Chains A and B, each alone.
Chain A
Amino acid sequence: MKISVDRSKCTGLGICESLAPDVFEIDDDGDLVLKTDEVPPGQLADIEAAVDGCPTEALRLHQD
C-alpha cells in the first residue's frame, strides 16, 4: 500500500504526525513531509487513522 498527500488540500495541521510519526512529519516551514510513501509493516491501522483523521481530507491510501 502507498500513501499520498494532496498538496492543494494539506495545510499542515499535523494530526497525521501524532498518529503515525514514522511516516508523517511537519517540517520547519509548517509543511507535511512524507518520510516514506510505503506503509511500514504493522502500521496500516495507524495510517488509516491518519487518513480518517485529516480535517482537509488530504491523505490517501492506494495500491501503487
Chain B
Amino acid sequence: MSPQNLVVIGASLAGLRAAEAARKAGFSGTITMVGAEHHLPYDRPPLSKAYLDGVEPKAPYFRTEEKLRDDLGVELLLGASATGLDTANKQVLLGESRLDYDALVIATGATARRLPGVAGLAGVHTLRTLDDAMAVRGALDAGARTVVVGCGFIGSEVASGARKRGLEVTVVEAQPTPLARAVGDEMGRVCAKLHHRHGTDLRCGVGVERIEGEGRVERVVLSDGTAIDADLVVVGIGAEPNTEWLAGSGLALDDGVVCDEYLCAGDGIYAAGDVARWHNPLFDRAMRLEHWTSAAEQAAVAARNAVHPAEAKPYRTVPYFWSDWYDSRIQFVGIPAAEEVRIVEGDPARDRRVVALYREGDRLVGALTINGQNVIMKFRGLIMKGASWADAVAFAEQRRAVAASA
C-alpha cells in the first residue's frame, strides 16, 4: 500500500519543499511538518545578505500560515524538536509524545558551530537563524565595531554588510588561506583580495584565544596576543548536521544521515538538505551539501520518492552556491577537489571579473566565477554533461575571445 501519512522533520527550505513536492506529486494523505524554531519556514540566504543592509528588511517567510495549512494541507508543529526515532514502530519521538509515520523526510538541517567559553556573553552571535540575523542587524544598526571569526561565506558576507555601512571590521581566520575547503587554496586567496580592497582587516593563520567582557563583549584576544576592541562578534566557523536525535535509531550516521542515491536512509525514510549525506551519481561519491539549491531539489526528490517509492528516482546534481561580497558576486559550480585549478579569464590582481576552472583527470569538475554571471551556468551545463577538460578550456577561450572583440 502506498504511504498515507507523511511526516517531515524540519521546517526550513527543505521541509517546505518536501511538503509542496508531495502535494504536487498527487499525495493526498496527511502531512505533518515539525520545526524546532517557532518561526514559519523562512529563507536563509538573505539573512547574511540583504537582511543586514541599512534599509528596513523584508520578513523572509516563504508562505503564510494560512497557505501552509489551508492550501497545502500541512499540519504544522512549530517549536517542537524531534528527540528520537523508533524505526520498528515507525514513530518519531517528540519529547514525551510520539508521531506515527509511514513515510518520513528528515530535513533537520545543521546548527552553527559556536566558540567554547562565550556562553552568556552578550554581543557574540552565530548567524544561522532569523533570530540570529535580527540580533546581528540590531548591533550593526547601533554602529558596532565588528569582529568576524571565520572567513567563510557567512563571515565574509557579514563583513561585507558591515563595511557597506562604513563600520570597522576585522575578520579572523585560523587557516592560512580562507575558503580552502570550499574553493581550494588558490581561489581562496583570490576571494580574500575582495576583503583587502574594501577595507576589511583580514588576519589569517591566527586563532581566537578568548573573548573578554563584563556580561557583554568588549574585546577579542587573538592567539598572537593582539586584542581587538569589539561591540559585536559574529562567529562563522561552519555548521554541524543535526543528527543527535537519531543516535541509536539504527540509521547510518556519518557527518549527516547516510543515504543512497535515492536519498533513502531506511525503510520509508528519506533525508534532504544540510543533514543528508547521499551518493551523488554524477560524481560517483558521497556528499553533504549546505547549499540552497540542493536543499530545495533534494527535498522535492526525497518527498516524491517517499510517497511514490515504486517510481523512485535518483538525485544527481552539479552542486551550486553563490555568495555576495561587497559589490561582487562569487559563484561556484561542481566540486573543488581538483588536481588543477586554472584561471581562464581575468587577472585577480587587477580585474573585477575572474573565471577559474577545476580539473580532475581529463574532466571538468568545477568552475568559480567572480562577477562572471554570464558564463557560470554554461560551465554547470558542461559539468552536467561530463565535458572533457580540453573542451571546457576551449569553450572558455572562445568566450574570452568573443568578449575581447565586443
Q: Write the residues of chain A forming the contact surface with B, with a CB cutoff of 8 angstroms.
A: 12-15, 17-18, 21, 25-28, 30, 52-53, 55
Closest 5 CB pairs of A and B: A30-B373, A17-B377, A18-B377, A18-B380, A14-B377
> Which chain B residues border A18 with CB–CB below 8 Å?
318, 320, 333, 377, 380-381, 384
Do B373 and A14 have beta carbons less than 8 Å apart?
A: yes
Give the residues in chain B near A52, CB-CB below 8 Å.
Answer: 17, 296, 300
Residue of chain A at shortest CB distance from B318: A18
B322: chain A residues at CB < 8 Å are: 13
Q: Is the interface of B mostly helix, strand, loop or mixed?
A: helix
A-B contacts counted at CB < 8 A amount to: 46
**Bound complex: CA A11 to CA B297 (Å):** 20
A55 to B17, CA, bound (A): 12
Given A53-B293, A53-B297, A15 and B377 contact (CB-CB distance below 8 Å): yes
Q: Given contacts A26-B376, A53-B297, could you give 5 more A-B pairs where the C-beta distance is less than 8 Å? A: A13-B331, A26-B377, A28-B374, A28-B403, A30-B374
Chain A residue contacts of B43, Cβ below 8 A: 55
Instruction: Decide: A21 near B381, CB < 8 A? Known: A15-B293, A53-B296, A55-B45.
Output: yes
Distance of B100 from chain A, by nearest CB (Å): 29
Contact code string B325-350 (vs A, CB < 8 Å = 1, else 0): 00001010100000000000000000
**B380 contact set on A, CB distance < 8 A:** 18
A26 cross-chain contacts in B, Cβ below 8 A: 373-374, 376-377
B45 surroundings in chain A (CB, below 8 A): 55
Q: A21-B381, A52-B300 are in contact. Are A14 and B376 (CB under 8 A)?
A: yes
Docked pose: A52 CA to B296 CA in angstroms: 8
A18 to chain B, nearest CB (A): 4
Which residues of B362-376 have CB atoms within 8 Å of chain A's CB atoms?
371, 373-374, 376
B292 at interface (Cβ–Cβ under 8 A)? Answer: yes
What residues of chain B lie closer than 8 Å to A55, measured between beta carbons? 43, 45, 292-293, 296
Distance in angstroms from A24 CB to nearest chain B CB is 9
Interface residues on B, range: 20 to 34
The residues in B between 285 and 309 inclusive whose CB is less than 8 angstroms from any CB of A are 292-293, 296-297, 300
Chain B residues near A15 (CB, 8 Å)?
Answer: 293, 320, 377
Residue of A nearest to B406 (CB): A28
What CA separation (Å) do A21 and B381 show in the bound complex? 9
A30 to B375, CA, bound (A): 10
Which A residues touch B17, using CB under 8 A? 52
Least Cβ–Cβ distance between A9 and chain B, in angstroms: 11
CB distance from A55 to the nearest CB of B (A): 5
What CA separation (Å) do A45 and B322 show in the bound complex?
25
Q: Are B374 and A27 in contact (CB under 8 A)?
A: yes
A15–B17 alpha-carbon span in the complex (Å) = 17
A14, B329: Cα distance in complex, Å? 12
Residues of B within 8 A of A25 (CB): 374
A18-B381, A30-B329 as given contacts; A12 in contact with B320, CB under 8 Å: no
Instruction: Specify which chain B residues have a CB less than 8 angstroms from the CB of A28 in the assembled complex.
Output: 374, 403, 406
In the complex, which residues of chain A have a beta carbon less than 8 angstroms from the beta carbon of B377?
14-15, 17-18, 21, 26
**Residue on B nearest A48 in the bound complex, by CB:** B24
Q: How far is the CB of B23 from chain A (nearest CB, A)?
A: 13
Nearest CB of chain B from residue A34's CB, rounded to whole Å: 15
Residues of B within 8 A of A14 (CB): 331, 373, 376-377
- Measured CB to CB, the nearest residue on chain A to B49 is A11
A13 to B300 alpha-carbon distance, docked (Å)? 20
Neighbouring A residues of B300 by C-beta, 8 Å:
52
Q: Which residues of A sit under 8 angstroms from B403, Cβ to Cβ?
A: 28
The CB with the most chain B CB atoms within 10 A, among A18, A53, A55, is that of: A18
Q: How near does chain A come to B332, taking the closest CB pair, in angstroms?
A: 12
Complex Cα–Cα for A25 and B322 (A)? 17
Q: How far is the CB of B122 from chain A (nearest CB, A)?
A: 33
